[in-house]
Amino acid sequence: MTVIDISPSVMQFLLAFIVVAPLLGALAALLPAPPGLKGKNPDQAVLRHGVTVTGAVLVAAIVLASGFDHDHPATMQATTDISWIPALDVRIHLGIDGISLPLLVLTALLTFLCALYSYFKLPAGPSPKAFVALVLVLESGTLATFAVLDLLLFFLAFEMVLIPMYFLINRWGGDQRQAAAWKFILYTLLGSVVMLLGLLLIGLKSGTFDMVALATDNGRGLTTSVQFIAVLAIGLGLAVKTPMWPLHSWLPDAHTAAPTVGSVLLAGVLLKMGTYGFVRILLPVAPEGMRTFAPYLAAFAVVGIVYGSLACLALARTGAKGDLKRLIAYSSVGHMGFVLLGIATMTPTGVNGALFANIAHGLITGLLFFLVGAIKDRYGTADLDTLAGATGAALYGRAPRLGALLAFAAVASLGLPGLAGFWGEMLTLFGAYSPAEGLSRPAFRTFMAVGAFGTLLTAAYMLIVVRRVCMGEHAPHSRLSPDDRTPQTPDGPEPSGAADSQPSGSAGPRTATTPQLSDIHPYEAAAWTPLAALTVVAGLWPAVLLGLTDPAVQQLLAGGKS
């Protein structure tokens, strides 16, 4: 069944367009604009160009999804297979199935929303031309990662995103941006070098780099020792990008320093590339190697769940001077732990839960970083003590719609039933209760119990954040020194109402005369509403997504057999 009937050749063109168009758009952004398109403001013109290109890619992705045959989601569709380097048997092989299609659409959507948001709220930094070009290159690399079906092309696409994200953090980021950018690039590059060795080992030992052929073979052409080494090498590179505890330490620094759109793309899109590699490459290509490492992967995953939650609780407590962006970054470590736990079960239930949690995390955490960026713009800081102590009523009293949306995103993140965050966590825990044959049930049920405890910790820190940021502190805790009443930025006092956090000469709770903060702007509503709406839709109708992923996962785990 398809929503609209599209010929295979048009489907091929659409997928190729989705991958290549952002790259061509990045090149066009760096070229001088034709005289008729310069307009009165060249900076706005290039930002408009970014919105146009990402919008065209999003439309193409939606049309591609509409033409996708939902009756056969396990079959690779819109495929292109052209010889590129005959000597190495490297081919330009593109295609999508029920596993990659949701990630493709999510990437196109988030990048468009980031381009739209940046059109109205460009982060401070160098030329807008460079900013737009970097975002488009980042989009192209991410989309290619989810579309290519050749191991070497996968590696090239995987690496293609590193340089744009490095510059987005280094040139448009906040405090400590250079150190954070270097940490990001060093961790991911070192992991990628090891991953390349593993990919080459698989390709040389099996005689092909074709991911579809390798998945169909299901590891039968690889010895157990080769699979063991391949999983160790490739898994290390993927785990850094995911990020898995204890290889996660680059993530909080990168998120804290990155501009708002950089954090949204990093959390919503780039982290998914690592977990996608586990599902697309390691599970079907090296099943025996994965079975050996699955208990260790699950153990690291649940440690990450608890560690991320405890770190968030430490940042959320009164007097900790915790940064709200850093807290959301640590929450990602915990949420991606659930994804890794689901993959480690090697069962259809667990892997479907992991893929669902991937999409849910992209929607919810993308929305959270948008909201935290907006709060930081208004207050001039993301420090939780400052935000909570600024007024007795906090966001609910000063920007009620913004506060309500933050509370919605927080309860979605903690896994409230009826919202997208619930299904991924529940399915991964169910998968851990009954793991694949050959895996220790007592061990995985222990992991399930630890993961379930992690959900309680997640609820605890998210509710603390909502109480403090949206409701503020009680009077004994809301007294600020004169220096604290006006949040400072590196460039001086913060505008946009930040100085209004407390009436002049008053150190007590907020009075009724405290000026309001600006609430949600129309451009913010346009960028955030799709994420909030899809969070509800995915929570109420999970079968829409699971209907795509489940047949593809079943076939993947069965070695290409339905």
In percent, the amount of the chain with pLDDT more than 70 equals: 89
pLDDT score at 256? 87
Residue 77 has pLDDT above 60, yes or no: yes
Tell me the pLDDT band of 38, cut-offs 50, 70 and 90. Answer: low
pLDDT of residue 356: 95
* pLDDT > 60? residue 478: no
The predicted pLDDT at position 37 comes to: 55
For 222-265, what is each residue's pLDDT tens digit? 888 999 999 999 999 999 988 888 888 888 888 888 899 999 99
Q: What is the pLDDT of residue 241?
A: 86
My answer on whether omega of the bond before 490 falls inside 30° of 0, hence cis, is no
Mean pLDDT across 113-138:
91
Q: What is the DSSP letter of 148?
A: B
**pLDDT higher at 457 or 31:** 457
What average pLDDT does range 35-46 have in this prediction?
Answer: 68
Kindly report, residue by residue over 167-220, the tens digit of the pLDDT: 999 888 887 888 888 989 988 888 888 999 999 999 888 888 889 989 888 878
Average pLDDT of the residues in 75-81: 88
In this prediction, residue 480 carries a pLDDT of 40
* DSSP letters spanning 279-301: IIIIHHH-HHHHHHHHHHHHHHH
Give pLDDT tens digits for 269-290: 998 999 999 999 999 999 999 9
The region that residue 313 occupies, defined by phi over 0 for left and psi between -120 and 50 for alpha, beta otherwise, is alpha
Q: Residues with Cβ < 8 Å from 501, sequence gap 6 or more?
A: 379, 386, 390, 391, 480, 485, 486, 487, 514
How high is the pLDDT of residue 139? Answer: 94
Position 483 scores a pLDDT of 40
Q: For residue 506, what pLDDT band results from cuts at 50, 70 and 90?
A: very low
pTM (predicted TM-score): 0.88
The pLDDT of residue 454 is above 70:
yes
For the stretch 379-428, pLDDT in tens is: 888 888 888 775 556 778 788 899 899 999 999 998 899 899 899 999 99
Confidence at residue 40, expressed as pLDDT on a 0 to 100 scale: 63
The phi and psi torsions of 128 (rounded to 5 degrees) equal -60, -30
**pLDDT (0 to 100) of residue 88:** 74
Closest CA to 101 of 562, 558, 561, 552: 552
According to the model, what pLDDT value does residue 501 have? 37
pLDDT at 230: 92
Strands annotated E in 427-510: 488-489, 492-493
On whether the CB atoms of residues 379 and 373 are closer than 8 A, the answer is no
* Cα 185 to Cα 166, 176, 179, distances in angstroms: 6, 15, 10
**pLDDT of 475 above 50:** no
Mean pLDDT score of the chain: 85
Closest of 203, 195, 217 to residue 151, by C-alpha: 203
Per the DSSP assignment, residues forming a β-bridge with 80 are 94
Residue whose C-alpha is closest to residue 389's, from 256, 545, 502: 502
100-120 and 522-540 helices, crossing angle to 10°: 160
Pairwise CA distance, residues 557 & 562, whole Å: 9
For the cut 90, the answer to whether the pLDDT of residue 363 exceeds it is yes
